[in-house]
Amino acid sequence: MSPMRTLLGPLGLILLALLAGCSVLPQRTTETHYLLTDPGPLLFSAYNHPGVLLLREMDVPAFYQAPRLAYSREAGTRSHYELARWTEPVGQRLTWLLRQRIEQSGVFDTVAALGSGVVGDYQLNTRLVDFFHEATDPPGVVLLVLEAELIHRESARLASHRLFVSQIPLARYDAAAAADAMGIAANHVIDEVILWLEQSIR
């Protein structure tokens, strides 16, 4: 029997094994939920259309339907942050932010959800194309790509179509900074959508 075994005894060896095991166990971590916010400033329209805009729920690819922040460390790939989640699905939140801002901007007299039973003059359809933290070169940037089309309801005519793109640099290389940059990107795109709506209905 070795001197170490004699000195420690069976119980001491078990304790040493447990301590060694603890050193390689992963540290406890907690999941953080982020609220996608629209930090402003609020853009008011200089033109008011005396009509009703119907807003359809945003179309979202399957990958972005998971309520997790997305990132990419390699071109052509997308992944989800393991411990960083949105408080609600990003498509629902972006649709809500867009509706609030359009209502407050005054571009239209009324903004209602498609399917609410309200008769509308125009219909706004949106699709989330991409919304992720591009992290190939840390701290990276947030990229938001949104497609929108404005339909004239009476004539069933496509009044206008546009792709909106926003890139926002991160202040730090972490999920919290990514969430902040995503809010700024959302604000920029919503501002552009309001200006585009104003120009499309003149």
pLDDT in tens, 58-82: 999 999 999 999 999 999 999 999 9
- Give the chain's mean pLDDT: 87
Q: What is the mean pLDDT of residues 105-128?
A: 95
From CA 21, how far away is CA 36, in angstroms rounded?
40
Contact between 142 and 185 (Cβ < 8 Å): yes
From CA 49, how far away is CA 14, in angstroms rounded?
78
From CA 133, how far away is CA 176, in angstroms rounded?
11
Ordered by start, the domain boundaries in the chain are: 32-200
Compute CA distances 72 → 31, 69, 144, 159, 193, whole Å.
20, 11, 13, 35, 26
Show the tokens assigned to 156.
């069933």
Q: What is the mean pLDDT of residues 179-193?
A: 95
* Domain 32-200: assigned CATH number: 3.40.50.10610
Model confidence, pTM: 0.83
Contact between 42 and 75 (Cβ < 8 Å): no
Strand 157-169, strand 108-113: pairing:
unpaired
Compute CA distances 87 → 15, 157, 159, whole Å.
43, 36, 34
Looking from the CA of 137 toward its CB, the CA atoms found within 13 Å total 2
Show the tokens assigned to 182.
């995503």
The confidence band for 20, taking pLDDT boundaries of 50, 70 and 90, is very low
CB burial of 21-56 (b: ≥16 within 10 Å; e: otherwise) equals eeeeeeeeeeeeebebebeeeebebeeebeebbbbb
Show the tokens assigned to 73.
């460390």
CA Rg, the chain, in Å? 25
The confidence band for 188, taking pLDDT boundaries of 50, 70 and 90, is very high
- Tens digits of residue pLDDT in 87-111: 999 999 999 999 999 998 889 999 9
Percentage of the chain surpassing pLDDT 90? 75
Q: Looking at residue 42, what is its pLDDT?
A: 59
Least confident of 35-44, 150-159, 162-171: 35-44
**Closest residue by Cα to residue 152 from 130, 192, 123:** 123
Residue type for 154, please?
Answer: E
**Is residue 48 scored above 50 in pLDDT?**
yes
The confidence band for 2, taking pLDDT boundaries of 50, 70 and 90, is very low
* Beta bridge mates, 123: 54, 151
